[in-house]
């Protein structure tokens, strides 16, 4: 984890401590660092290239903002975002992504992102987005109205952190006993959770749940 103290001038009335940047492209981390130097002067910026590194940082004390790429070496799509929002609900998360079509932006916001910053944004646009998000507002680029039923994202977002991890396990093709081992619970507990997962998703079996979990996949 790379930690550094920003000293640039800018929004001097913001009392920020820690901002985590999770992106596996060093050049884009540098671009975000430049934007943060203007939007959040004085904050400690911690950089990581993985979801695991981001989770480690979030577990190490209060974080004012997580900037999360949707494509990391250990997480691709919306599963990482949904997991972080479930496990660390108090931390605002802004998605940064090269996939910036309307459905992707809407899905990120449906899964709890406080904002969506396209990687094609100019430095000034990044600064404006970060200032808005750090002020407690939601920010995303203009997107067209949804022209399809996107209710499954909201259903998945309603799952508890444990239920979400079980759904991700199903998506990965893991058996109940394997998921139970991963979560440190009994297989009976997994079966009980599955009943609630099926009910919340409006499905009746594992196959339908796996199909529903495709909402977590980032379309290329």
pLDDT tens digits, the chain, 220 residues: what are they?
Answer: 554 434 333 444 446 689 999 999 999 999 999 999 999 998 999 999 999 999 999 999 999 999 999 999 998 889 899 999 989 999 999 999 998 888 899 889 988 999 999 999 999 999 999 999 999 999 998 876 654 455 788 888 888 888 999 999 998 899 999 999 989 999 999 999 999 999 988 888 899 899 888 888 876 5
Q: For residue 108, which of 133, 144, 80 has the smallest C-alpha distance?
A: 80
What is the domain range of residue 120?
Answer: 2-134
Q: Which helix (H) or strand (E) holds 125?
A: helix 123-134
Q: Rounded CA gap, 178 and 157, in Å? A: 23
Q: Which helix (H) or strand (E) holds 66?
A: strand 65-69
Structure tokens at 80: 């990482």
Q: Rounded CA gap, 214 and 9, in Å? A: 43
Residues 123 and 170 occupy one common structural domain: no
Residues 124 and 30 occupy one common structural domain: yes
CATH of the domain at 39: 3.40.50.2300
Within a domain: 175: yes
Q: Which of 134, 159, 192 is the last residue of a domain?
A: 134
DSSP per residue, 70-88: SEETTEESSHHHHHHHHH-
Number of domains observed in the structure of the chain: 2
CATH of the domain at 207: 1.10.10.10
Q: Which pLDDT score, from 0 to 100, does residue 100 have?
A: 86
What sign does the dihedral 12-60-99-83 (CA atoms) show? negative
Residues 60 and 7 occupy one common structural domain: yes
């Amino acid at each position: 984890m790379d930690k550094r103290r920003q000293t640039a001038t800018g929004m001097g009335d913001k009392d920020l401590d820690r901002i985590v940047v999770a992106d596996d492209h060093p050049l884009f981390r540098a671009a975000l660092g430049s934007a943060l130097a203007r939007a959040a002067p004085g904050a400690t910026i911690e950089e990581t290239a993985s979801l695991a590194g981001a989770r480690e940082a979030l577990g190490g004390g209060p974080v004012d903002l997580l900037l999360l790429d949707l494509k990391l070496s250990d997480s691709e799509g919306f599963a990482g975002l949904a997991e972080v929002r479930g496990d660390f609900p108090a931390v605002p998360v802004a998605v940064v992504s090269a996939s910036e079509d309307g459905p992707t932006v809407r899905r990120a916001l449906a899964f709890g992102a406080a904002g969506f910053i396209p990687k094609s944004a100019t430095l000034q646009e990044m600064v404006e987005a970060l200032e808005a998000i750090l002020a407690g507002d939601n920010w995303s680029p203009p997107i067209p109205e949804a022209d399809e039923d996107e209710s499954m994202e909201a259903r998945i977002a309603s799952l508890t952190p444990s239920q979400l991890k079980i759904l991700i396990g199903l998506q990965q093709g893991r058996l109940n006993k394997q998921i139970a081992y991963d979560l440190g619970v009994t297989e009976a507990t997994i079966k009980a959770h599955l009943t609630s997962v099926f009910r919340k998703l409006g499905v009746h079996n594992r196959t339908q749940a796996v199909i529903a979990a495709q909402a977590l996949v980032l379309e290329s």
